[in-house]
Structure 1
Amino acid sequence: MFQWPSGAHFAALSWWFWSVVNDLGFILPFLLFAGGVKLAQVMGYSRRLLPTALAFGLAVGAVSYYLTAWGAPELESRYWDSLGDEIVERRTFGTATPPNILRNLHAVEANPPSEYSLRVDNRSQNPPNVLRWYLHRPIAMAVFGLINTLMGVLAAQLTENFGRGPRRNALLALGVLGGLAYFGAVMIAGPIEPFLRDGTMRSGVVAAWIPLVVPLLLVSVLFGIARKRYV
């Protein structure tokens, strides 16, 4: 007879689910480049290609947002609960889902602490800019997924006359380099490292959205090339 795991086994299982959901939510937007390529290969120059790509990117982006903003925080909370953790602030503000992050943000702004801290066991001292970054980052990642889908579509169309090997290499290079460029921009723009380094309170909203400049530039270049070629 099946028995639900308890104790250390349940904690390990909770940690595993939390890690998988969190990583999957983060990775999905990067995989959408390949999704865009596949759509272009299957649908060719159909008039339905663009709306289908947009719908596909929005759908997968929504899944990514749900996993990172809602699913992973809920599983993280269950993991800590399985360890018997009784952190007061976690009980006060609840799991780190968007509504509770907003509650946390409003509380910090209404009663600014004498000093800010990133400790998870003292969320009443979390910097407001970091809390705003937590709110906006999952949405920005979902938008990146949509842009990445369009990049995949354009890249597939622009390389259709390449040989099989060169085309595969070109698409792989575009997908990987585009993803790495965005990931690097996210790391550079993030507000946590400057805060830990010297207490700099970099805008969390700007930090979440400014990395999108990179994929927007890339998709603009691809669109410009496609327009010159086909118009």
Structure 2
Amino acid sequence: MAFQGILFDKDGTLFDFGATWNTWAAAVIGDLSGGDAGRAQALAEAVHFDLASQRFHPDSPVIAGTNDQAAALLHSALPERPVEEIAAFLIQQAARAELVPTTPLAPLLEGLAARGLRLGVMTNDSAFSAEAQLRAAGVFDHFDFVAGFDSGHGAKPAAAPLLAFAAGQGLPPSAIVMVGDSTHDLEAGRAAGMTTVGVLTGPALAADLADLADVILPDIGHLPAWLDRA
């Protein structure tokens, strides 16, 4: 069966994870700590962020987790601030993040759509942040489906949000490619019965993704050539 749709993860897939989110996280920790070095260290440890190198550890649960999960971790180091307030703060700050695309997105997406492919984004970020970021990057209108963890379909690694894309587009899951940089993305793709493509623009290494990916590409810019071969 020819592929009829591609569902992308957002962070680490459409946007380079380190270049976008390490700087953002350092600023968020600085804001939440109020300039207190001890509190900043506690917040950084809670989310597995190294203040010295200004980057997330590869095992950070924030990398593939939801906004609410990140807020809960930060709340554990900042218990006097309501977790709901932290979650709202993260959503607002994420919507303003300085995004670094992994490849020129508009021409890539236009080319994929010209092949007759339906395109979607499913992220464990909030739907509000996802829409704001895609609009800021000038590519929101290239997608037929955009969902976050709070869109009512659930979060990865569950298959349900991926199947929502399939159902919404009237496509069989077997005709869809799930593209992501994390094991959560690829576990969800496998569970949904989709072809899985891993990319190396997030913290995960090829070895981390190998057992779950049907193919591993350097970045999403290599998708057209892979589709030609596939």
Do the two structures share a fold, i.e. TM-score over 0.5? no
**Structure with larger Rg:** 1
Structure with higher helix content: 1
Q: Which structure shows the bigger proportion of residues in strand conformation?
A: 2
Q: TM-score, normalised by structure 2?
A: 0.28
